[in-house]
Amino acid sequence: MANNAENNSSDSPEYIPAVEDDRLAERLASITEEEAEARAAALRAGLSDYELAEEDAAVLEFDEDDEDYEPYVAAPPALAVIGRPNVGKSTLVNRITRSKEAVVEDVPGVTRDRVSYDAEWNGKDFTLVDTGGWEQDARGMHKRVAEQAEMAVDEADVVIFVVDGLVGATAVDEAVVRMLRRKKKPVLLVANKVDAPSHMSEVYGLWNLGLGEPYPVSALHGTGTGDLLDAAVKAMPEFAEHGGMIPTGGPRRVALVGRPNVGKSSLLNKLAGSERVVVDSVAGTTMDPVDEFIELGGQTWRFVDTAGIRRRQHMASGSEYYAMLRTQRALDKAEVAVVLLSVEEPVSEQDVRIIQMAVDSGRALVVAYNKWDLMDEERRYYLEREVTRDLAHIAWAPRVNISALTGWHKDKLAPALDTALTSWGRRISTGRLNAFLGELVAAHPHPVRGGKQPRILFATQPSTKPPRFVLFTTGFLDPGYRRYITRRLRETFDFTGSPIEVSMRVREKRKRK
Report the pLDDT averaged over residues 215-224.
92
Band of residue 140 on the pLDDT scale cut at 50, 70, 90: low
Which DSSP string do the residues of 18-29 spell out, in sequence order? SS----HHHHHH
pLDDT value for 467: 96
**pLDDT of 452 above 80:** yes
What is the arithmetic mean of pLDDT over 54-69? 68
| Ranges 118-122, 326-330, 397-401, most confident | 397-401
Instruction: Name the CATH superfamily for 253-411.
Output: P-loop containing nucleotide triphosphate hydrolases (3.40.50.300)
- Of the two residues 341 and 62, the one the predictor is more confident about is 341
Which are the contacts of 432, defined by CB distance < 8 A and separation ≥ 6? 28, 33, 36
- Looking at residues 132-154, what average pLDDT do you find? 69
From the annotation, which residues make up the binding site for GTP?
83-90, 130-134, 192-195, 258-265, 305-309, 370-373
Per DSSP, which regions of 290-422 are E strands?
Answer: 290-296, 299-305, 336-342, 364-370, 399-401
Section 187-211 average pLDDT: 88
Average confidence (pLDDT) over 102-113: 43
CB 253 within 8 A of CB 335: yes
Q: What is the pTM of this model?
A: 0.66
pLDDT tens-place string over residues 344-371: 999 998 899 889 989 999 999 999 999 9
Indicate the pLDDT class of residue 315, thresholds 50, 70 and 90. very low
Which has the minimum average pLDDT: 186-195, 238-247, 427-436? 238-247
Least confident range of 128-137, 265-274, 433-442, 464-473: 128-137
| Domain-wise residue ranges, the chain | 23-64+429-506, 78-103+110-235, 253-411
Sheet holding 468-473, edge to edge: 456-463, 468-473, 501-506
Whether the per-residue pLDDT at 495 is higher than 90: the answer is yes
Share of the chain above pLDDT 70, in %: 81
Percent of the chain scored above 90 by pLDDT?
48
CATH topology of domain 23-64+429-506: GMP Synthetase; Chain A, domain 3 (3.30.300)
Amino acid 487: pLDDT: 94
* Distance separating alpha carbons of residues 465 and 500, to the nearest angstrom: 9
Mean pLDDT of 469-475: 96
Residue 85 pLDDT class (50, 70, 90 cuts): confident
Domains 78-103+110-235 and 253-411 share a fold: yes
266 against 381, higher pLDDT: 381
Provide CB contacts within 8 A for 346, sequence distance 6+.
382, 386
Beta strands in 193-312 (DSSP E): 215-216, 245-247, 252-257, 290-296, 299-305
Q: How far is 498 from 412, CA to CA, in rounded Å?
A: 18
**330 or 269, which is more confident?**
269
Least confident segment among 167-171, 270-274, 449-453: 270-274
Known binding site: residues? 83-90, 130-134, 192-195, 258-265, 305-309, 370-373
pLDDT the model gives residue 325: 67
- Of 512, 499, 509, 504, nearest to 458 by C-alpha is 504
Answer whether 88's CB lies under 8 Å from 96's CB. no
C-alpha 426/C-alpha 424 separation (Å) is 6
- CATH class name, domain 78-103+110-235: alpha beta
Question: Cα–Cα distance between 17 and 482 in angstroms, integer?
Answer: 13
Task: Provide the pLDDT for residue 149.
Answer: 77
